[in-house]
Chains A and B, each alone.
Chain A
Amino acid sequence: MSTVKQPHAEQFTSREQQSFAGTFGMWVFIASELLFFGPLLFGYLYLRVHYPEASAAASRHTDYLLGTSNTAVLLTSSFLMALAGHAAESGQRPRAMRLLWAVAALGFVFLVLKGWEYHKDFQENLFPGPGFRPEHGGRLQQLPGMQLFFILYFVATCLHAVHLTIGILVCLAMAWRLRRPPPVGVSADAIEYAGLYWHFVDVVWIFLYPLLYLVGRAGG
């Protein structure tokens, strides 16, 4: 346990106020990130209302197994991230460091699985454009709607992957900087902020998963 009281920046009256301001700032950022992802969800709502059969047919072309395993990977990474936050808070810095490495590794596993899925999507001609030719299922008049679904699929998952990549880099940087004690090394507050961001990226995926992978799974 580190019992040394950490100093605070001069614009704050106490260390508690400083870490509360940081957490508050992170939550405001997360709320704005929600509005950043929001239009994609609205686009999805429009698509489901205007092209119900086409979007169900298109969602059957996504990879159920990869999507489900990726969800499990992200949920587990979020759990480890929460453990890392607790460990850093109670001064167990080596443990927090190991957990952050594990979180980054799981994030990387997610990206690898996602990349493999993209590769399969390209092979099945599911990328929107002149070459869009889903092999099985989907009638000709459904093709425009199916293309819209896949535009949304690629934009949403790419945007999520970009956020996850940033999260992995943040985890690695935090794990690296945990080697030294504060104020040279990183404080437990910073792990908490990184955790909030990571959990938000997880939350986005929790919603993308049923919308992109599950809706038309049982057949239309």
Chain B
Amino acid sequence: MEKRTRPLVLTWLALLVLLAISAGTSWLRLGWINTAIGLAVATVKVVLVGLVFMRLRVTHPLLRLTAVAGLTTLALLFILSGADYATRSEVPAPWQHPSTVAPRLGR
């Protein structure tokens, strides 16, 4: 293993181990913790890919800032849209079978 590519190989192995962890734990009946584990493992994987494969670990701070700015914008949009949905109650329309509704053609 070349010295320069060693971090890449180790990252790849770590990613596969993480995949095995999330795939394996999904069969345990843990309720919402299943989703939490899945998302936590995904986050660790993304951090590994970002830092090592996309070289954010060694790169110029401006590039790291760009990545964080993208994530922050997404988080803001999640909060804004989420506030809208979280403060409104869902009032579903009564379900009607199409055959019971008189066809309204034209006006």
**What is A's interface to B at a CB cutoff of 8 Å?**
20, 23-24, 27-28, 30-32, 34-35, 38, 41-42, 45-46, 48-50, 64, 68, 71-72, 75-76, 78-79, 81-83, 86, 90, 195-196, 199-200, 202-203, 206-207, 209-211, 213-219
Contacts and interface: CB of A to CB of B under 8 A. Distances in A.
B21 to A, nearest CB: 11
A31 B34 contact: no
Interface of B: 4-5, 8-9, 11-12, 15-16, 19, 22-23, 26-30, 34-35, 38-39, 41-42, 45-46, 49-50, 52-54, 59-60, 62-63, 66-67, 69-71, 73-74, 77-78, 81-82, 85, 90
Given A71-B19, A75-B15, A218 B28 contact: yes
Contacts of A79: 8-9, 11-12, 15, 53
Given A27-B67, A45-B82, A20 B60 contact: yes
Contact of A42 (B22, B38, B42, B78): B78
B94 to A, nearest CB: 14
B29 A214 contact: no
A49 to B, nearest CB: 8
Contacts of B77: 35, 38, 42
29 contacts: A30-B70, A32-B70, A38-B77, A45-B78, A46-B85, A49-B85, A50-B90, A72-B16, A72-B19, A75-B12, A76-B16, A78-B12, A79-B8, A79-B53, A86-B4, A86-B5, A199-B49, A199-B54, A200-B54, A202-B49, A203-B46, A206-B45, A206-B49, A207-B46, A210-B26, A210-B41, A210-B42, A211-B38, A215-B38
A48 B27 CA distance: 19
Given A78-B49, A79-B12, A30 B42 contact: no
Nearest to A46: B85
Contact of B63 (A24, A68, A209, A217): A24
B54 A35 contact: no
Contacts of A75: 12, 15-16, 19, 45
A78 B53 contact: yes
Give the one of A64, A202, A219 with max B CB within 10 A: A202
A25 B39 CA distance: 29
Pick the 9 closest A-B CB pairs, nearest first: A31-B70, A210-B38, A79-B12, A214-B26, A217-B26, A27-B66, A218-B29, A82-B53, A34-B70
